[in-house]
Amino acid sequence: MPPIGRRTVLKLASGTAALAALPWASAARAGTSRPARAVAHDDVLAIAFDANLHTSIARAGDPMTPFQASESLLLPEGGAIDACAFVDERTEPVADARHGAGRRHVVRGRSAQGIEKTVEVAFFERYPGMAIVVASYRNTGDAPLAVAGWRNGAHELAEAPGGFWSFSGATHEDRRDWVQPVDEGFNQRNTLAMDASDYGGGTPVANLWRRDGGLAVGHVEIVPKLLDMPVRRTAGGASIAIEGAHATTLGPGESLTTQRTLLCVHTGDFFVPLELYRRFMRDQGIASREVPESAFAPIWCAWGYERDFTTQQVLATLPKARELGFEWAVLDDGWQTNEGDWAIDLRKFPRGDADMRAFTDAVRAQGMRPRLWLAPLAADPGSDVLHQHPDMLLLDEYGSFQKVSWWNALTQCPAYRKTIDYYVAFVKKAIGEWGFEGLKLDGQHLNAVAPCHNPAHAHAHPNESCEKLPDFWNAIHAAARAANPQAVVELCPCGTAFAFHNLPATDQFPSSDPLSSWQVRHKGKTIKALIGRGSSYAGDHVELSTGGQDFASSVGIGAVISTKFTWPRDTDRPNPGPLPPGGFVLTPEKEALWRRWIDLYRQHMLPRGEYLGALYDIGFDRPEAHAIAKDGAMYYAFYADAWNGPLQLRGLGKGRWRVRDLFHDRELGVVDSRASTLDAAFEGFLLLQALPEGGNA
């Protein structure tokens, strides 16, 4: 069936004649499906409701699922109220000040238990293929009903050749990949609550896709919500949903309403749904801000010398870092006496404030910018702040502390005014008095916090600590910019999935302790979708990539390059150590390679281009491919252990294009946009530039 046009959409209304234009009618006549009682849709996505208010999904007129119990009220013993006899429906136009024109479809039904179920489905012209769904449940009976929560967007996709891939925006303590194949036995809860005392939160979107298309679910509330987005392999394929644990009792006449959730259909991988989510949230006021130009400058970090660095080691490395083309110098963990007090270690800076100012002056004298490492919201046992201000601590319902495992510290509450004021004052000092031009805010605990039950904080509800964490980061960012309008604030929640609601307070997001080059690349694709064109995503220290020197994975996807090399020798007292084989020292062989990649990065500045994430499917396309448009040229990065065969150069404009292998500095020939394939062989990576024939970029 051809796609449903907008003119058809405007004509469609409830009734047999309207439903005949959609695929469920013909399926029902053929005896393969139940007839639909109501249909809500735009040009791309259609959601049909049957007589039980179960739904079936179609994309561009092609059915993706049979009728399934997509919206349910969950019961304490594991059951659900998911069959509600159709009562009525209505449709109405929407003219939303934030999201523009659209259409809302409201369907109502009643269960055998006396629960009245209402499902609202809203489509907006700005976000084709994405629906906003809200379900509510009212107890119309005479007896109270205990409930455990709710489920929205629950659908199972049938098995297909090639299987499934998934994206999870939720955090996992084991720092697993955000993008994974859905193999046999795959089962992820994908909670947006805490996965451990210091791991939690994330971007509230999950995605499941086959080679021919997929489904995404999530929530679109303007504050973080503690929901789950389970994805699992099933006997017949794979399933996805979004769920809220909300244990309560609905008395007669009482209601429960779900959060606003999204359901999105798409082709390709997770990039398009994340872009649609970003655009929807931008229209609600949550968006990346314009970042200083320096947010794209290459980064050298002193962490190669680890905690027991000496000031002389750091200062002696700056000339080499600047000679290679690095513009930021990051003073990392170890400058302070402990986590929490953030007092200068006088063994390294004997004159205290004066020596810290001298340090930043010395960095600038080398033509570089100083950035300071900080782990906010962590207070060590024995720190003065913990002794003097125990009221800052985040406490659970039993009055226990929340632990930050890496530093053996305790978590402070970000929604407590004294905590906010304490860190705002420090940021003003670090930038306004010491002279740092940026901050590296580090630690897995920065992404999300647990609900706070500290009675000293007088929270309206325990989840206030979770929901107001973005306000804490906004206060930090505002303080940094007030002290220096060009300050760069980097948020590095180690190993976690980026918490989208923290975005407005972030100038740079790194791949955050990647475990492999694959993580550098798929995290990069994720952040490019969530932040948009001109975003500053950093590949983190290249020493963390596969093999410890894979600049190709950063440069090829448009990430800012970063390193923690030491020079002329490694530290002789590693802490936390031990150093990897060969250490972090910049050998002559490394230096030659480093220079090549830094020159390529600075020459082409791909982070300033437009990352075209919809052109390639990171799960199914082989070899793995990424594309960036910049200054009239197209850039392609391909990755594989080894490849010898055709490469598709998607997205080329009309005409003929000259193709160049940038790293090896060689011409590969000319391709025509009508048949944009190129035969090539490579190992590891291939970075290409395509220029219109006769043109320059």
Q: Determine, yes or no, domain membership for 619.
A: no
The answer on 393 and 318 residing in a single domain is yes
Token duo for residue 421: 């004021």
The answer on 237 and 313 residing in a single domain is no
Q: Determine, yes or no, domain membership for 287.
A: no
The answer on 338 and 305 residing in a single domain is yes
- What is the tally of structural domains in the chain? 3
DSSP assignment letter at 659? E
Q: Determine, yes or no, domain membership for 618.
A: no
How do 130-139 and 255-257 pair as beta strands? Answer: antiparallel
The answer on 550 and 641 residing in a single domain is no
Q: Determine, yes or no, domain membership for 697.
A: no
CA 427, 429, 432, 438: dihedral to nearest 10 degrees?
A: -40
The answer on 263 and 207 residing in a single domain is yes
**What's the pLDDT score for residue 276?**
97
The answer on 580 and 687 residing in a single domain is no
Q: Domain boundary residue among 253, 282, 311?
A: 282
**What's the pLDDT score for residue 22?**
55
Tens digit of each residue's pLDDT (9 = 90 or more) over 264-311: 999 999 999 999 999 999 999 999 888 999 999 999 999 999 999 999
The answer on 603 and 642 residing in a single domain is no
The answer on 220 and 146 residing in a single domain is yes
- Is the pLDDT at 241 greater than 80? The verdict is yes
| Residue whose C-alpha is closest to residue 466's, from 192, 119, 283, 114 | 192
Q: In the chain, what percentage of residues exceed pLDDT 90?
A: 92
**What's the pLDDT score for residue 289?**
86
Q: Domain boundary residue among 574, 607, 640?
A: 607
**What's the pLDDT score for residue 457?**
97
The answer on 49 and 17 residing in a single domain is yes
Tens digit of each residue's pLDDT (9 = 90 or more) over 372-430: 999 999 999 999 999 999 999 999 999 999 999 989 999 999 999 999 999 999 999 99
**What's the pLDDT score for residue 33?**
53
Question: For residue 323, what are the domain limits?
Answer: 293-607
The answer on 98 and 238 residing in a single domain is yes
What is the average pLDDT score of the chain? 94
What is the Cβ-side half-sphere exposure of residue 40, based on CA atoms within 13 angstroms? 29
CA–CA distance, 257 with 218 (Å, rounded to integer): 16
Q: In what order do the strands lie in the sheet with 560-563?
A: 488-492, 438-442, 369-374, 328-331, 299-301, 560-563, 537-541, 509-510
CA max distance for the chain: 85
Q: Determine, yes or no, domain membership for 613.
A: no
Tens digit of each residue's pLDDT (9 = 90 or more) over 623-641: 999 999 999 999 999 999 9
Task: Return the exposure string of 15-40: e unless at least 16 CB atoms fall within 10 Å of the residue's CB, then b.
Answer: eeebbebbbbbebeeeeebbebbbbb
Handedness of CA 69, 130, 622, 546 (dihedral sign): negative
- Is the pLDDT at 12 greater than 80? The verdict is no
**What's the pLDDT score for residue 556?**
98
Q: Domain boundary residue among 235, 262, 282?
A: 282
Q: Determine, yes or no, domain membership for 18.
A: yes
The answer on 637 and 504 residing in a single domain is no
Looking at residue 142, which CATH number applies to its domain?
2.70.98.60
Q: Determine, yes or no, domain membership for 25.
A: yes
Neighbours of 90 (CB within 10 A): 11
**What's the pLDDT score for residue 5?**
36
- Is the pLDDT at 200 greater than 80? The verdict is yes
CA–CA distance, 486 with 426 (Å, rounded to integer): 18
Looking at residue 671, which CATH number applies to its domain?
2.60.40.1180
Tens digit of each residue's pLDDT (9 = 90 or more) over 94-103: 998 999 999 9
Question: In the predicted model, what is the mean pLDDT of residues 545-550?
Answer: 97
Report in angstroms the alpha-carbon separations of 671 from 7, 48, 647, 659, 664: 39, 45, 11, 7, 19
- Is the pLDDT at 654 greater than 70? The verdict is yes
Question: In the predicted model, what is the mean pLDDT of residues 596-621?
Answer: 97
The answer on 337 and 276 residing in a single domain is no
Looking at residue 573, which CATH number applies to its domain?
3.20.20.70
Q: Determine, yes or no, domain membership for 85.
A: yes
